[in-house]
Amino acid sequence: MLKAVVVAATVLVTASCSLATEQPRPGNAQTVTLVTHDSFAVRKELLDEFQKNSGITVEVRKSGDAGALTNQLVLTKANPIGDIAFGVDSTFASRALNENVFQPYQSPDANKRYQLDDTNRLTAVDIGDVCVNVHTTGLKGVPEPTTFEDLADPKYKDMLVVESPATSSPGLAFLLGTILHFGADGWQDYWTRLKANGVKVVSGWEEAYNQEFSGTGKGTRPLVVSYASSPAATPDTKALLETCYRQIEYAGVLQGAKNPEGARKVLDFLISQQFQAEVPDQMYVYPVREGVALPEAWQKAAPMPTDTEATLPAQEVDRNRENWVNQWRSLVQG
């Protein structure tokens, strides 16, 4: 998580998380430290209501993107930096599980559809589909692409900007999407063709979407790797749903947590009806809880993809991630 978001979400993150950035207060049994990524956001009034009703003080500690968060959790597992972590996504989840970072807990409201295994160590909180976005008017008369194959067509030369899978969660998801689509023996040729077609690689989502993408009015490239939800905040754009790769963000109680009971209550809060209803507006991802309606603007501009759940098995990603990224570096940046 998920976790690049569109411009509006970035503003919400800044405003919403200023309330909980202190260090945990030693000795307070009712303090729960939530370790998360930089894009976590919750409306202050909603968090205040939870804290009042539960008697728990939630301290938020941010740790970069999903990859950086996972790395820090693994490195500190012997002396955990919090009680609960949120934001380990499906591209990194198997590493955290293999390193025994989390302890079992099955929330009564967990959506078992997205359960990773039968150990109940991670609970799905939100869904984000990484897809190519197109600025429709920015194409200037060129027909809209629809498929991965279209992006390598010379008519779209110098139009696509992507994030590096070595430094970006959506960049990694897009690489995995091409591997899923073209296969272990075909994706390398595809990236060679993208390179020849003028694909531009940048370090992260912020640079790709807000600086290079013409849909924001700042860049010149009308095609960008972003999210299926991004068009809800950017006019004249749409997601190419045939290029989507599904990411799921998880939360879990950390092994060695000082307040595991409180951490379980915070996890229950993250998948509650109240929190899930605000996930789209606060973090620009889709709620994982069944029956939570999307905002009206999303229903038209950014409906959740329903005809695809494209993703590779977590264990396969964990086993091959480093090798795939290294191959990608040699092909595209070597």
> DSSP labels for 96-120?
HHHTT-EE----TT--GGG--STT-
Q: CA angle, 159 as apex, 201 and 227 as ends, to 5°?
A: 70
Q: Tell me if residue 288 falls in helix, strand or coil.
A: coil
Exposed (0-12), middle (13-18) or buried (19+): which is 184, by Cβ within 10 Å? Answer: exposed
Q: Identify the helix (H) or strand (E) that includes residue 188.
A: helix 187-196
Instruction: Supply the pLDDT for residue 40.
Output: 94
Q: Tell me if residue 186 falls in helix, strand or coil.
A: coil
Q: Judge if 108 and 152 occupy the same domain.
A: no
Number of domains present in the structure of the chain: 2
Q: Judge if 203 and 314 occupy the same domain.
A: yes
- In this prediction, residues 189-194 reach a mean pLDDT of 98
Cα-Cα-Cα-Cα dihedral sign, residues 300, 294, 290, 66: positive
Name the least confident of 116-120, 247-251, 302-306. Answer: 302-306
Q: What pLDDT band is residue 307 in, cutting at 50, 70 and 90? A: low
- Please tell me what DSSP assigns to residue 303: P
Q: Residue 237 forms beta bridges with which residues?
A: 135
Q: Judge if 86 and 205 occupy the same domain.
A: no
**Residue 160 belongs to a domain with what CATH number?**
3.40.190.10
Decide: pTM greater than 0.95: no
**Contact at 8 Å (CB) between 137 and 234?**
no
Domain interval for residue 259? 7-128+247-301
Q: How many CA atoms lie within 13 A of 292 on its CB side?
A: 24
Instruction: Supply the pLDDT for residue 334.
Output: 85
Instruction: Give the residue from 81, 39, 84 showing the smallest Cα distance to 64.
Output: 39
Q: Judge if 253 and 145 occupy the same domain.
A: no
